């Protein structure tokens, strides 16, 4: 058990992150065919999650609502004593140690020990007979030390993966009643000690175990909403609902997600995913397996959303054409650059296609380019170019980096303004070199900045990502990394929990 003797609460955070994050559940082997995204969280990642999970446990204790309780007890020489416990609140909460265990094909066992907490409230009592009665209201405290044990099970309920935490135990090692801060064992304290402390035990156990389930659902929904928000932008949305219940081993937890792209009421379909369990290792903290079946529809949605259109003018435009090419620049282009307000407009004239091999992710598209000027109504030049590039992606210093290798470039459908004569062959050679050495690098710089901005908007720059790697394979990309604790997510979650 030494390996599992972690700081407070990592097991709870792992448990919460699994509960309620899916829409349908079938056996993993059947689900593989419909899976576009896979996430594997290994044991070392649990060590990272452990750093702040004390706050999650404290939220479960402090957010619990403790109801008022009224009762009646017969006491020798006093008759019936009617009493009530009101305004029960938690103070001075501290948490000692936690142990957790990933139980293969079962769930997560969690033991949290040395939870010290003071419960404060008000006790009202009334005793007497038909001739006289005495009633009073007193402040009371219960100083306690508790161990918490949760044997959680994961199952599919109402189309979601759910956690059954009904196997939940609180053991009280200390439960000391204080009335009005008086620690002396006077008669009143002796009178109430037994039945108040027993009542407090029952109430606290029920409410804390119920609150753990509530916090689990809040955190699960929060994690799902955050994941969908991260993968979605504007009118483009990604369904991260799971296709199967998570697989748990002693070394990792793995979840299988749909990864379906929705745009304008149209949703992509995955019928035969290439995923196999041996695609992912256990050497890093966190893995994301991304299928071409999820990435290619994202590219298609971005195309239909008009995101592959760019207008370039001014000094940025003239600076582009300072690049040295082996082909002489045609007079047509020189005149255009010297004209009033030259403008270059480029866009994707076809739906881009994407596929991945061990060499990288290949993208094939027909791009259209139009050179125009304020001095004339019609374009000075229009052409289309078939482009295929192989891209290797990386993430460094909180920026996306795309390294591209041109595979195929062919300029076609060249048209020029009336009255301008140019040798089409020499122009075609120049345009192909310009696309390779000017156009593609410029487009890649725009894509790097755009993707980085989208990720920053979703909060990726707030994570401490350590040595991330993006590795291409046949039909999928594997992203693997270590990471620091996402402090901002914990803050947002606690705000939501305590609303």
**Segment 297-323, tens digit of pLDDT:** 999 999 999 999 999 999 999 999 988
pLDDT of residue 188: 64
> Which of residues 436 and 162 earns the better pLDDT score?
436
> Which of residues 84 and 306 earns the better pLDDT score?
306
Q: Under CATH, which architecture does the 2-229 domain have?
A: Super Roll (3.15)
Domains in the chain: boundaries: 2-229, 232-483
Least trusted range by pLDDT, from 10-24, 106-120, 166-180, 331-345: 10-24
**Mean pLDDT value across residues 216-243:** 76
pLDDT higher than threshold 80 for residue 1: no
**Segment 2-35, tens digit of pLDDT:** 344 333 334 444 444 444 443 356 677 788 889 9
**Mean pLDDT value across residues 364-377:** 88
pLDDT of residue 211: 76
> Which of residues 20 and 277 earns the better pLDDT score?
277
Which pTM does this prediction carry? 0.80
Give me the chain's average pLDDT, please: 80
**Mean pLDDT value across residues 292-298:** 95
The CATH classification of domain 232-483, taken from the options 1.10.10.10, 3.40.50.720, 3.15.20.10, 3.40.50.150: 3.15.20.10
Residue 446: pLDDT band with limits 50, 70, 90: very high
Question: Percent of the chain scored above 70 by pLDDT?
Answer: 77
Residue 262: pLDDT band with limits 50, 70, 90: very high
pLDDT higher than threshold 60 for residue 498: no
pLDDT of residue 263: 94
pLDDT of residue 9: 38
SS3 labels along the chain: CHHHEECCCHHHHHHHHHCCCCCCCECHHHHHHHCCEEEEEEHHHHHHHHHHHHHHHHHHHHHCCCCCEEEEEEECCCEEEEEEEEEEEEEEEEEEEEEEEEECCCEEEEEEEEEEEEEEEEEEEEEECCCCEEEEEEEEEEEEEEEEEEECEEEEECCEEEEECCCEEEEEEEEEEEECCECCCCHHHHHHHHHHHHHHHHHHHHHHHHHHHHHHHHHHHHHHHHHHHHHCECCEEEECCECECCEECCCEEEEEECCEEEECCEECCCCCCCCCHHHCCCCCCEEEEEEHHHHHHHHHHHHHCCCCEEEEEHHHHHHHCCCCCCCCCCHHHHHHHHCCCCEEEEEECCCCEEEEECCEEEEEEEEEEEEECCCCCCCCEEEEEEEEEEEEEEEECCEEEEEEEEEEEEEEEEEECCCCCCCHHHHHHHHHHHHHHHHHHHHHHHHHHHHHHHHHHCCHHHCCEEEEEEEEECCEEEEEEEECCCHHHHHHHHHHHCC
């Amino acid at each position: 058990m030494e390996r599992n003797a972690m700081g407070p609460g990592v097991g709870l955070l792992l448990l919460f992150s699994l509960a309620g994050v899916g829409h349908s559940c079938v056996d993993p082997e059947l689900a593989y065919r419909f899976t576009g995204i896979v996430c594997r969280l290994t044991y070392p990642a649990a060590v990272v999650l452990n750093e702040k999970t004390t706050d999650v446990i404290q939220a479960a204790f402090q957010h619990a609502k403790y109801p008022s309780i009224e009762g009646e007890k017969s006491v020798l020489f006093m008759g019936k004593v009617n009493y009530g416990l009101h305004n029960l609140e938690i103070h001075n909460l501290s948490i000692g140690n936690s142990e957790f265990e990933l139980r293969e094909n079962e769930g997560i066992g969690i033991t949290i020990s040395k939870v010290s907490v003071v419960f404060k409230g008000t006790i009202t009592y009334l005793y007497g007979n038909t001739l006289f009665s005495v009633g009073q209201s007193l402040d009371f405290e219960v100083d306690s030390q508790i161990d918490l044990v949760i044997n959680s099970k994961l199952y599919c309920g109402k189309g979601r993966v759910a956690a059954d935490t009904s196997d939940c135990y609180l053991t009280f090692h200390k439960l000391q009643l204080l009335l009005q801060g008086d620690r002396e064992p006077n008669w009143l304290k002796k009178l109430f000690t037994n039945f108040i402390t027993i009542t407090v035990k029952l109430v606290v156990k029920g409410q804390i175990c119920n609150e753990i389930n509530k916090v689990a659902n809040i955190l699960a929904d929060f994690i799902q909403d955050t994941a969908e928000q991260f993968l979605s932008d504007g009118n483009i949305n990604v369904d991260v609902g799971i296709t199967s219940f998570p697989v748990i081993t002693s070394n990792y937890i793995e979840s299988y997600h749909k990864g379906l792209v929705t745009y304008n009421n149209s949703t992509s379909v995955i019928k035969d995913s290439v995923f196999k369990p041996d695609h992912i290792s256990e050497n890093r903290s966190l893995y994301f397996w991304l299928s071409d079946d999820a990435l290619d529809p994202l590219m298609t949605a971005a195309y239909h959303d008009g995101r592959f259109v760019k207008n370039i003018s001014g000094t940025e435009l003239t600076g582009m054409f300072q690049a040295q090419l082996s082909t002489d620049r045609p007079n047509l282009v020189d005149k255009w650059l010297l004209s009033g307000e030259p403008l270059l407009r480029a866009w994707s004239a076809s739906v881009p296609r994407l596929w991945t091999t061990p060499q990288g992710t290949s993208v094939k598209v027909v791009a259209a380019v139009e050179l125009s000027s304020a001095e004339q109504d019609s374009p000075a030049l229009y052409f289309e170019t078939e482009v295929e590039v192989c891209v290797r992606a990386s993430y460094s210093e909180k920026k996306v980096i795309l390294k591209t290798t041109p595979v195929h470039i062919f300029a076609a459908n060249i048209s020029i303004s009336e009255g301008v004569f140019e040798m089409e062959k020499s122009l075609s050679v120049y345009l192909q070199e310009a696309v390779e050495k000017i156009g593609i690098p410029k487009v890649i710089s725009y894509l790097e900045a755009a993707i980085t901005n989208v990720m920053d908007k979703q909060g990726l720059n707030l994570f401490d990502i350590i040595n991330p790697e993006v590795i291409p394979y046949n039909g999928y990309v594997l992203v693997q990394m270590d990471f620091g604790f996402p402090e901002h997510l914990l803050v947002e979650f606690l705000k939501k929990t305590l609303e």
